[in-house]
Amino acid sequence: MRFAVIQFPGSNCDMDTVRAIREVTGAEADLVWHARKDLSDYGAIFLPGGFSYGDYLRPGAIARFAEAMDGVRRAAEDGRLVIGICNGFQILLEAGLLPGAMRHNDHLQFRCEIVPVRVERADTPFTSGYEPGQVIRLPIAHGEGNYYADDGTLEALERRGQVVFRYAGENPNGSRNAVAGIVNEAGNVLGMMPHPERAVHRWLGSEDGRALFVSMWRAGRERQLV
């Protein structure tokens, strides 16, 4: 399976993501400029962290109109894997590929640290390498990671099991229900604020992100994605 990592002006986790994919799975991973519309060659697509377009207006509000997002939408509709990390999660929300919105952290400070995160589901193509209820350690680095959804949307997310990652212990940003990551109803689009690509080697402080990349690689093979 081939992986694409979309590069927007202002992305700063793109090469970290490419390296993580290659080092953990050995798979082919390409850095793809945001103006490319056709992403049909890829079975999995990453929207990386950073500050796309300088976070003008709102994080992800301009990137949602990038030409590559047409390919991202088609990939999601086709059942291919799509994951947005940090700013990538914000872009998926702005594009309507996931429900809800991001607000400023409730303490109005930028948080950059390794935090405990609980894996709520281990039956998705992104989490099959974990155990349900497992608490892992992943870095966060954001000023607007406070996930918000109205009561009805939040209740539906919980009822349908779409909350995949949840902050364990202290809530670092005020996110409702301590949400750290959610999937769409089909389960093939994931948005998460913590950075698994920064947790693939012990010397980074944690290697708990490795299982996410392995899970995606295995799911791609099983589903015979591109």
| Of 13, 94, 142, 195, catalytic | 195
The full set of domains in the chain, from first to last, is 3-222 (3.40.50.880)
Contacting residues for 50 by C-beta, under 8 A, at least 6 apart: 8, 10, 11, 12, 13, 14, 86, 87
Strand partners, 33: 7
| Of 94, 120, 144, 197, catalytic | 197
Instruction: Report the C-alpha gap between 144 and 147 in whole angstroms.
Output: 8
What is the reported pTM? 0.97
- Give pLDDT tens digits for 102-159: 999 999 999 999 999 999 999 999 999 999 999 999 999 999 999 999 999 999 999 9
Query: Kind and range of the H or E element at 25?
Result: helix 14-25
Query: Which parts of the chain register pLDDT below 70?
Result: none
Measured at the alpha carbon of residue 62, what is the angle toward residues 97 and 86, in degrees to the nearest 5?
A: 60
Query: Kind and range of the H or E element at 183?
Result: strand 179-183
Residue 47 DSSP code: E
The confidence score (pLDDT) of residue 89 equals 98
Does the annotation count 86 as an active-site position? yes
Does the annotation count 195 as an active-site position? yes
What does each C-alpha distance from 12 to 15, 88, 96 come to in angstroms? 8, 11, 23
| Of 34, 86, 94, 142, catalytic | 86
